[in-house]
Amino acid sequence: MPEPTGNPSDPPHFSRPSGTTGTSGTSEPSRPSEPLASSGGPAPEQVAQRLTAVIGRLLRRLRTTSSDSLLTPTQRSVLSRLDREGPATTAALARAEFVRPQSMRLTLGALEAQGLVGRAPDPADGRKSVMSITGSGLAVLTAVRAAKNDWLAEAIAAELDDEERRTLVEAADLLGRLVGK
């Protein structure tokens, strides 16, 4: 097995076997082989490190696809949560988003000012109010989701051949299994 080259703290690279070609038809340079675990496959720690790096880049790229919506990542997350889970109090949203209630009040205030969320008295406790997504909020959220999906679908179509797309579906199934635990 060849010795790894480059910075040892860099994440390992997964690549096609030497001499294979990408979708562009050009030969891609070989990268160092992945160190193997005792079972013969890549070590779980190295797979985790590589996945963390790639998924982080993917998430950052997806966030930039909807930048024209003028929503912060927290605002998008809150709208998405209200869409999925229904109306909630400021305190419940703060706990769910792992932020302080004061920060959540600011986020909800900005969303309310844009007409993306609405406030109503809490049926269980009239001193509190619950926030819910409005029709306008749902329209913005739908547009943000569509922009992300469109970018990813276009990137997949442009960069991956049929076999690579099948492999990506298998990888998505495996990732789903991991996060389902």
* DSSP for 84-125, written as a single string: HH--EEHHHHHHHHTS-HHHHHHHHHHHHHTTSEEEEE-SS-
Helix locations, the chain, DSSP H: 44-65, 73-85, 90-97, 101-113, 135-159, 162-179
Q: What is the pLDDT of residue 93?
A: 97
Q: What is the pLDDT of residue 24?
A: 41
Contact (CB, 8 A) for 53 and 69: no
List pLDDT tens digits, range 121-144: 998 888 899 999 999 999 999 999
Along the 181 residues of the chain, how does pLDDT read in single tens digits?
A: 444 444 444 444 443 344 444 444 444 444 455 566 667 899 999 999 999 999 999 999 988 887 666 888 899 999 999 999 999 999 999 999 999 999 999 999 999 999 999 999 998 888 899 999 999 999 999 999 999 999 999 999 999 999 999 999 999 999 999 998 6
List pLDDT tens digits, range 11-25: 444 433 444 444 444
Q: What is the pLDDT of residue 1?
A: 41
Q: What is the pLDDT of residue 39?
A: 74
User: For 172-175, which contacts have Cβ atoms below 8 Å and span 24 or more sequence positions?
Assistant: 175/51
Helix (H/G/I), strand (E/B), else coil: 77: helix
- Rounded CA-CA distance 162/77 in Å is 33
